[in-house]
Amino acid sequence: MSIYTIGDLHLSFHENKPMDIFGENWKGHEEKIKKDWINKVKNQDLVILPGDFSWSTYLKDTYDDFNYLNSLPGKKLLLKGNHDYWWTTLKSMRKFLEENDFQNIDFIFNNAYEFENYIFAGTRGWSQTEEENERFLNRETQRLELSLKQAKEIQEKRLQEENIKKEIIVFMHYPPITNNQIEANEATSFVRVMKEYGVNRCYYGHLHGIAIKEAVEREYLGIKFKLVSADGLDFKLLKID
């Protein structure tokens, strides 16, 4: 069984929000992703989507977008992005999926998800480039820690019961650190929490077009960071295991 990731699908089957403002390469991006997905993913595999899944404002309007996702092979795990206005409570979203018979789809939202020899944690995060709002930054840091706390509990339980130490991997939507912060030798609250919980890998999205050049895609403070926005991956899923 394999694990893949791709972020920022920005599906708009219900809305009319073309993404080619970020470049001509976005034209027909849904079909590009679908073709690559079908060529790579098997039903037993897992695909993690770290945010900005749908342009719809309300959950009821995401049907066509989730139907697209449901038609693709593999299990799918979603995080919230800054444009996922449809995102509600975990209970409501799971109920919506169940009512529409959308199977093999779930969410990371103040929780952790175990798959094979890995445990996935994460949160949306907050902008590191705009003027920071301390209240939102603290809230997202707390959500990451809540997710990682559950991940750590699962990790310790598996270690005791099966003598297997499963790797904890973090997914976020916003970049958890910027190149400017690294140049200033800074560690954000997100990086500090990841270090505390022994995280070695973090995947994130959000950056598009010319902003991709700002992405941190290297190891910093013992954590390997990788941008996985759709255009950052040329609309091809990234295999992480």
74: which residues sit within 8 A by CB, 6+ positions away?
4, 37, 41, 42, 43, 44, 45, 46, 47, 104
Q: What is the reported pLDDT for 128? A: 62
Are 108 and 170 in contact by the 8 Å Cβ rule? The answer is no
Helices and strands: H and E segment counts in the chain:
6, 11
39: which residues sit within 8 A by CB, 6+ positions away?
none
CATH numbers and ranges of domains, the chain: 3-239 (3.60.21.10)
177: which residues sit within 8 A by CB, 6+ positions away?
128, 186, 187, 188, 190, 191, 216, 220, 225
User: Starting from the edge strand earliest in sequence, which strands make up the sheet with 113-115, in order?
Assistant: 113-115, 118-123, 167-172, 201-204, 223-227, 219-220
Q: Which amino acid is at 163?
A: N
Are 203 and 171 in contact by the 8 Å Cβ rule? The answer is yes
Q: What is the reported pLDDT for 19? A: 77
Predicted structure pTM score = 0.94
In 3-state terms, the chain is what percent helix, strand and coil (to 5)?
Answer: 40, 20, 40
Q: Which amino acid is at 176?
A: P
Look-up: residue for tokens 């103040």?
110
Element (H, E) at 30: helix 29-40
Q: What is the reported pLDDT for 4? A: 98
Per-residue pLDDT 10s for the chain (241 aa) are 999 999 999 999 887 777 777 778 888 899 999 999 999 999 999 999 999 999 999 999 999 999 999 999 999 999 999 999 999 999 999 999 999 999 999 999 999 999 999 999 999 998 865 556 788 888 999 999 999 999 999 999 999 999 999 999 999 999 999 898 898 888 899 999 999 999 999 999 999 988 998 899 999 999 999 999 999 999 999 999 8
User: Starting from the edge strand earliest in sequence, which strands make up the sheet with 105-107, in order?
Assistant: 105-107, 75-79, 46-50, 3-5, 238-239
Summarize pLDDT for 93-133 with one digit per residue, the tens: 999 999 999 999 999 999 999 999 999 999 999 886 555 67
Are 76 and 6 in contact by the 8 Å Cβ rule? The answer is no
